[in-house]
Homo-oligomer: A and B are copies of this chain.
Amino acid sequence: MKEEDGGLRVQSPGVGWSSVNKALNNIPNTSLTEKLGKVSRLDDSDKSIINDFFRNRIKMNSGTDLIISGKKAENAFVLIEGWAYRYKILANGRRQIISYLLPGDICDIYAFVLRKMDHSIGLLTDATIGIASVSDLWTMLWSSRNIGQAFFRSTIIDECVIREHVVRVGRRNALQRLSHLLCELWVRLKQVNLVKNDSVYFPINQDHLADALGLTSVHLNRTLQVLRSNDCLSLSGKTLRIYDWEKLQEIAEFDASYLSIDEMPQYAGG
């Protein structure tokens, strides 16, 4: 985190996913191989192939777009550090946020398979991006079974999250939508050790939440107040605190099994 020049204003500096490293082999994990290693066994050679492939790093500022819808995809990107979100803009200017990319999430494996991007990716914080040429991507993916499996699985897990988002937006009311999304983000942030006691750094504002949930920001604000007045949580100053996880889960009818990253068949299937 140091040699990359910091810049990310995380609330409690020094505590991040990189502290989760377990060093299954000799080569220490980066945030990228850490995440991929959870879905497929990666040996030293795999790790160095992956890290080497994305060795070029760029820094981008909060509020800018990493990927712009409609543009040709010439580069492969990976989010090394920072928060981001996928979105589309409609003709009338409305925005729909499709999913969030949290620190430690890899970013855009499937992006490069398409000739041009069908959605944009915006940054919620300053971020560090690993960048590589699309033309070599498939060769990298194919360099070992473990690597292919890791990226394939990772892509599929992303899709599970999007599917649940369809359900959330399609068949839940405002209160459930919001509480359900917060439950999901909470669990995902816990997975990468970003939750400290009952609080996390949370750079998603009410406008964004509304656009993710298919609501107006006015109504989102009022819905949030319901959760606050039920003593479930607080959200202000880019800090989310959850006081009553049980109650929140109950309101949301949240069942984390669709996120079952820990339940991966132990490197099976090969």
Q: CB within 8 Å of B: which residues of A?
A: 70, 86, 88, 90-92, 94-96, 98, 110, 112-116, 118-119, 134-135, 137-139, 141-142, 145, 148-149, 152-153, 155-156, 158-160, 162-167, 169-172, 211-214, 253, 257-258, 260, 263-265, 268-270
Known A90-B171, A170-B169; judge A113-B163 contact (CB<8 A): no
Judge whether A163 and B88 touch: CB under 8 Å.
yes
Judge whether A170 and B214 touch: CB under 8 Å.
yes
Can you tell how many copies of this chain the complex includes? 2
Judge whether B156 and A113 touch: CB under 8 Å.
yes
Judge whether B156 and A118 touch: CB under 8 Å.
no
Judge whether B96 and A268 touch: CB under 8 Å.
no
A-B contacts, 26 listed (Cβ < 8 Å): A88-B164, A91-B253, A95-B171, A96-B167, A96-B171, A98-B166, A113-B156, A113-B269, A115-B263, A115-B265, A116-B257, A118-B257, A135-B268, A142-B148, A152-B152, A152-B155, A155-B155, A155-B156, A159-B159, A159-B162, A162-B163, A165-B166, A169-B170, A169-B214, A170-B212, A170-B214
- Taking the closest CB of chain B, its distance from the CB of A110, in whole angstroms, is 4
Point out the residues of chain B lying under 8 angstroms from A167, CB to CB: 88, 90, 96, 98
- Taking the closest CB of chain B, its distance from the CB of A54, in whole angstroms, is 16
CA distance A145 to B159 in the complex (A): 23
Q: Which of B90, B94, B138 contacts A145 (CB 8 A)?
A: B138
Main secondary structure of the interface of A (DSSP, over half): helix
Pairs A-B, 3 closest by C-beta atoms = A170-B214, A138-B270, A110-B156
CA distance A134 to B139 in the complex (A): 25
Known: A114-B264, A155-B159. 11 other contacts (CB 8 A): A90-B171, A94-B171, A113-B156, A115-B264, A118-B160, A158-B159, A166-B169, A169-B170, A169-B214, A170-B212, A170-B213
Judge whether B258 and A171 touch: CB under 8 Å.
no
Point out the residues of chain B lying under 8 angstroms from A88, CB to CB: 163-164, 167
CA distance A158 to B159 in the complex (A): 9
Point out the residues of chain B lying under 8 angstroms from A135, CB to CB: 268-269
Judge whether A162 and B166 touch: CB under 8 Å.
yes
Q: Which of B98, B114, B155, B211 contacts A260 (CB 8 A)?
A: B114
